[in-house]
Amino acid sequence: MSKGYTSLRNMLTEMFKNEGDSWERVEFCTISDAELDRKFDSEYGAQGATDFTLWTRDHVYRNAEYDGADYLFCLPRNHSHASGFGSEIS
């Protein structure tokens, strides 16, 4: 296997650590556990992960692909958690 093989669950677990989230805080996910656990090559040029959206109490997580490389990103669900993101609209 390539060193790039992973699963969305593994990628999310690492990202949760950085964001202060956990699997216990997940409220909804658009894909099944089997899809979260499916191994794929996250490096450039390979077929990647299933597209998904996952909500925790404070964040929304998504995956994206650029030039064949898969990555995750998250956004705050509430502007009060968005220090440094944009500006408040009145």
pLDDT in tens, 16-43: 999 999 999 999 999 999 999 999 887 7
Range of the domain at 62: 5-79
Distance of CA 39 to the CA centre of its chain: 15
Report yes or no on 75 lying in a domain.
yes
Confidence of residue 81 (pLDDT cuts 50, 70, 90): low
Report yes or no on 64 lying in a domain.
yes
Angle at 54 between CA 15 and CA 12, to 5 degrees: 20
Q: Which amino acid is at 68?
A: G
Domains in the chain: how many in total? 1
Report yes or no on 36 lying in a domain.
yes
DSSP 62: E
Report yes or no on 10 lying in a domain.
yes
pTM: 0.79
Report yes or no on 90 lying in a domain.
no
